[in-house]
Amino acid sequence: MPAPISHLTEKASASRYWNAVTETMPRERLDALHLKKLKLLAAYAYEYSPFYRRRFDEVGLKPGDIRTLEDFRRKVPITDKQDFIHLQQENPPYGDTLALPHEMLTHHVETSGSTGLPLAVPYSAYDTERVGESWTYGFWAHGIRPSDSFYFAFNWGNFAGFWSCYFGARRMGCRVISGGGADSKGHIAAIKRLKPTVLICTPTFALRLAEVAKEMGEDIANSSIRYTYHAGEPGPCALPAMKAAIDEAWGADSGELLGIAEIEAFGPSCARRDGIHVNEMAVHSWSMDPATGEDTPAGEIGENVLSSYTYSAQPLLNYRSHDLVRRTRGCPCGCTWDKFEGVVLGRTDFMVTVRGTNVYQTAVENIIGAIEGVSPFYQLVLDREGSNDRMTVEFEPVRSVGEADWPALAKAVQERIHAALHVRLETRPMAPETLPRYDLKTKRIIDNRPKALRRELDR
């Protein structure tokens, strides 16, 4: 039998980029490539998706009318998750949005639907390859190579996020180990026995696993894990305190990816771990003032609007993410793709008014995560006080903080939030291990308001 031949040269393995040509492409060439792809995407969607043909015809638009990026952003109708959920409810499972026949679909996933109806996401075989490719940019920038092995610490189901990550691990050629239905102790035992080098899970579950390992007397910081990589909720590139906690707990480097199940795994970690880059080979992304629909200049906060080049089965054009981001250009890492420093700063569709002040969930989370003595386990409880929303921050102090000091810590949390957001929220310390733990997306919001006032919180 011939000796195995490595598909990576030493030079390629040492490169900082998965694809240096595309990741360092000058802006002028990137924009020209976007325009070419968007013209093809619009023509494809119009030709094969009844939904998009109807939407284009409603505004009198033909694909040939798109001659510039400005034309695409202004003329192609804006779409929203609720549009597609409504169509899927009317005509399950996919409504009339498909651009491929059912027999060409090879995989079905869904958004988590933890606070609303799930959105079905169909993949063709081509789509699974493309979405897998999107993860590899972040893996490579993080230092992960084909010789690494991945441990997936979650229950396999229809949740989209880590299925696409699995496709990415396969695309890179790494060994894949499934945690399946194991509990936390089972995951720790499997990691100790099988010696994977990459841990895949939500960031808060990584901290939960470290907590369980400590209870078991296992020194997880000296395990085989050298990298942790996360998705599904704000992670180490959004929250510096979380990055420090995960890195210390696992003795590893943590990274993350920003994705939207129905759009793409489009936001790999920057190599500097201070934000994410938009994968401009997979999506076209621009920022919009959610009130006016106008472009938001680079450096200012706007809503991220996306069109996916990846999903041939269910194309999405000018799709509202409802994520508020600060888009920047020019990064010391050398990547020319747009960057979101702080990742997602808030949500346009989740804002509560507390004593006359608009408060975003993510803004509160960023503050809590940076306060010494507060563990990563906390939740925001909403109820109603007259005509205003009321938000109470329930948090667990770390074990080193004695119960006698909890009131002082609660006051410190309240004052830090007040100084940053100019609103005084109620704060309530909870005994360690009393708040819920989650394997997948952590549920940070407990909405006890009347049903008519609740909003769709899922991405």
In a domain, 415, yes or no: yes
- Beta-carbon count within 10 A of 369 CB: 20
Band of residue 5 on the pLDDT scale cut at 50, 70, 90: very low
Question: Domain range for residue 394?
Answer: 351-453
- Indicate the burial class of 120 (C-beta count within 10 angstroms; 0-12, 13-18, 19 or more): buried
Q: Residue type for 135, please?
A: W
101 has pLDDT over 70: yes
The pLDDT confidence band at residue 458, using thresholds 50, 70 and 90, is very low
pLDDT interval class at 376 (50, 70, 90): confident
Per DSSP, the three-state class of 184 is helix
Per the structure, the count of domains in the chain is 1
Nearest by Cα to 426 from 454, 393, 378: 393
**Where does 90-220 show beta strands of DSSP type E?**
105-110, 120-124, 149-152, 175-178, 198-200
Encode pLDDT of 219-244 as tens digits.
Answer: 999 999 999 999 988 889 988 878 99
Residue 362 belongs to some domain of the structure: yes
Domain assignment of residue 406, yes or no: yes
- Residue 396 counted as domain residue: yes
| Nearest Cα to Cα of residue 359 among 417, 413, 416 | 417
Does 452 have pLDDT greater than 70?
Answer: no
Residue 3 has pLDDT above 60, yes or no: no
pLDDT of residue 457 exceeding 50? no
For the entire predicted model, the pTM comes to 0.82
**Tens-digit pLDDT profile for residues 123-147:** 999 999 999 999 999 999 999 999 9
Mean pLDDT to the nearest integer, 270-283:
96
| Mean pLDDT score across all residues of the chain | 90
pLDDT of 405 strictly over 80: yes
For residue 409, what is the domain's CATH number? Answer: 3.30.300.30
Looking at per-residue pLDDT, the higher value among 458 and 196 belongs to 196
Q: Which two tokens stand for residue 384?
A: 């109603």
Q: Are 50 and 320 in contact (CB under 8 A)?
A: no
pLDDT tens sequence across 418-433: 988 888 899 999 999 8
Decide if 458 is inside a domain.
no
Helix (H) or strand (E) holding 292: none
349 or 312, which is more confident: 312
Q: What is the model's pLDDT at position 225?
A: 98
| Alpha helices in 342-428, H assignment, sequence order | 361-368, 406-421
Confirm whether 373 is domain-assigned: yes
Residue 380 located in a structural domain:
yes
Measured CA distances, 143 to 229, 255, 272, 454 (Å):
11, 10, 11, 42
Q: Is residue 434 a part of any domain in this protein?
A: yes
For the record, the structure tokens of 268 come out as: 């790999």
Distance between CA atoms of residues 277 and 335, nearest Å? 8
